[in-house]
Amino acid sequence: MSAGNVPLRRLQRLARLYGIQLAYHDAFGQIREASPESLLGALRALGATVESLDHVPDALRERRQQMWRRVLRPVMVAWDGVPPGARLRLEARRAVGQASFRIRLESGLEQRWAFDISQAPVERAVQLGGTNYVSKKIVLPVGLPAGYHQLQVELAGECVESLLIVAPRRAYAEPPKTWGVFLPLYALHSQRSWGGGDFSDFEEMANWVAELGGSVVSTLPFLASYLGELFDPSPYSPASRLFWNEFFVDPRRVEEFARCEAVRRLVESSAFRQEVEALRATPMVDYRRQMALKRQVLEEMARWLVPEKSDRYAAFQRYVDLHPPVEDYAQFRAVVERRQAPWTEWPEPLRSGVLRPGDYDEDAKRYHLYAQWLAEGQVSALAANMRSTGVKLYLDFPLGVHPQGYDVWRHREVFAVKASSGAPPDTVFTGGQNWGSPPLHPEKICEQGYGYMISCLRQQLAHAGMLRIDHVMGFHRLFWIPQGLEARDGVYVSYRAEEFYAILSLESHRHKVLTVGENLGTVPDSVNATMSRHRVQKLYVAEYEIWPDPALALRPLRRNCVASLNTHDMPTFAAFLKGQDIEDRVQLGLLKGEEARREHEERRAVRAALATFLSEKGQSPISWEEPELLLRGCLEWLAAQPARVVLVNLEDLWLETEPQNVPGTSLERPNWRRKARYSWEDFRGMAPVVELLRNLSDLRRQKENAAS
């Protein structure tokens, strides 16, 4: 090693100690090494004091001492009640004598014992700054019940604690093979909704699916969004993962709607009716206008409720009392509205999380409290109704949150606010992607005992029958883009995947929810292996699995997966067959003429191979120029496979060609806004739609009967 490489090697050692990967295999098959600037930026985001290479030696010493001064890891995992043992890091001079151990179970019961630390073998010994340290492993009791327990160790007058997560190694799963449908709720519009869809529309669709023999209805996240002056309708950049989006509330199902005279006058006014008709007539959801209209009604209902002091008001007050964070959230949203500015631009002490009554309007706070109460009630009623008909609500848990949202403001200690999550360069986004949301800090979230993460998951699991984990690779590692750098300059930062899976498995069993990991794109083999080990369902997406080989045009799939033709981030099936997504990338400047021509040729070969493959499987000829038959053939093939769930994008059934979202085009495309081409009343009775779904139901039932 040359003298000139010494500072870089030290920087790399420091990066590894913080869990930063020094290189990764990119989508082009090349090894991409992290630059010193990227490593320094990621280290700063993780809390290291390194402005330049000159600061690395001190930071390296500090990091090593920090790691060895931590007697016990903040979190440990015991799979199926068998703890791995507690590793204690101690100064050698203190690694003797009796230590007192206590496990305080979640139930409140305790187990206590003592042990002579000097009897434990030394696993490792180091010397740092003139101090000798040793690592020793202590055996813990077996047979602990599942739950979140506290391990406490007292030695030489010092007491340390660790969260002990005891979880089933395999997540909850049910045996039946079933099918379901997918449609974004905002896109589901009816003759009675006020533009975009609401929870009542969703319930009607779920009942229809049950009548057809299906048992899953999937959609995009229902989570809180900014739909006013601060505006971001993306369901994957929520203002909070702890609260619902009142945009989907149906006011007409609420008791106050019928009893409040001011509301009746408002909704019966010609101006209100004209606005509703205008919102219904547009092909795109106008979030601002629709939310403003709905808010007028909800505010009147909230004003009417308070002075009544009725049983309804008592129920509302109980909800607020039982959910303390909702008051904090309502105050935050009220301050956002008063200041018309993101929280990072607020003065102190507001910016640091201290709010007082004079900082916000009480009416705005009351509105947000009331809206969350209604949303929680309607989501709960929706889920209960679906369960009663044998249909699962398949919810989606987004990877990130809006950087100016409530979660980052209130829980900023668990976020790395000096970085953004994203994706490295690939064949489509050659400059990489910056998703804008701050990543979780791998150490701070652990030190918090994953409390924020557990609360977010429980918000979904309390109502879901299935839960999709967006970008499940984020349990293992996440692509960080340090502040001030381009997406192409990002680095991967590692997380303690075992701890995330333990929480997910434990919570899935407690709520009896099937968990699904979104494992699309560039996925390390270790991720898929871990998902299999913990029985987290994978995704099988046909558009990713089609090959120009007539003998094997669709790659086989395995049992523990949710199979579909596409996802909300992909072209519809008809658009895929036409190569419309290729033309879209040409328009966006992501493809040149020769590249586009080559991709069109490849797509034609794929279509031809798919037609031949399906013809042989179905034993009736299919032309690649017949999208209806290709669609039917693909759905029948999926239905015959051992997938746990087959999910159908309803828009594919009428050969829709427009996408719901084109990743990376928040300014260029009207993402998350397009209504379904047909209203709920129209498509529920369309013969081709009903026929395809009934056929799918029959085939899945036959598959299940054959398996049993």
pLDDT tens digits for 326-365? Answer: 999 999 999 999 999 999 999 999 999 999 999 999 999 9
> What sign does the dihedral 522-526-531-532 (CA atoms) show?
positive
Q: In this structure, what is the dihedral angle of CA atoms 203, 204, 209, 212, given to the nearest 10 degrees?
A: 150
Residue bearing tokens 């658009």: 575
Lowest-pLDDT choice from 216-220, 270-274, 375-379, 589-593: 589-593
- Note the pLDDT of residue 559: 86
- And the tokens for 513? 């929810």
Residue 129's CB: how many other CB atoms inside 10 A?
9
- Note the pLDDT of residue 667: 87
- Note the pLDDT of residue 618: 81
**3-state secondary structure (DSSP) of residue 136:** strand
DSSP 175: -
What is the band of 619 on the pLDDT scale with cuts at 50, 70, 90? Answer: low
pLDDT tens digits for 103-115? Answer: 999 999 999 999 9
pLDDT at 624 over 80: no
What is the band of 212 on the pLDDT scale with cuts at 50, 70, 90? Answer: very high
pLDDT tens digits for 626-669? Answer: 999 999 999 999 999 999 999 999 999 999 999 999 998 988 99
What domains can be seen in the chain, in order of their start residue? Answer: 3-67 (no CATH), 81-167 (2.60.40)
H/E run at residue 254: none
- Note the pLDDT of residue 316: 96
Closest CA to 161 of 95, 76, 64: 76
pLDDT tens digits for 149-182? Answer: 999 999 988 999 999 999 999 999 987 789 999 9
pLDDT tens digits for 680-692? Answer: 999 999 999 999 9
pLDDT at 1 over 60: no
Q: Average pLDDT in the 271-300 region?
A: 98
- Note the pLDDT of residue 519: 97
Q: What percentage of residues in the chain have a pLDDT greater than 90?
A: 90
Across the chain, mean pLDDT equals 95
Closest CA to 445 of 515, 495, 403: 495
Which residues are within 8 A (CB) of 147 and not within 5 positions of it... i.e. 6 or more apart? 105, 106, 107, 166, 506
pLDDT tens digits for 177-188? Answer: 899 999 999 999
What is the band of 4 on the pLDDT scale with cuts at 50, 70, 90? Answer: low
Residue 122's CB: how many other CB atoms inside 10 A?
11
H/E run at residue 479: strand 477-482
- Note the pLDDT of residue 569: 95
pLDDT at 2 over 60: no
Residue bearing tokens 């303390």: 324
Q: Average pLDDT in the 421-438 region?
A: 91
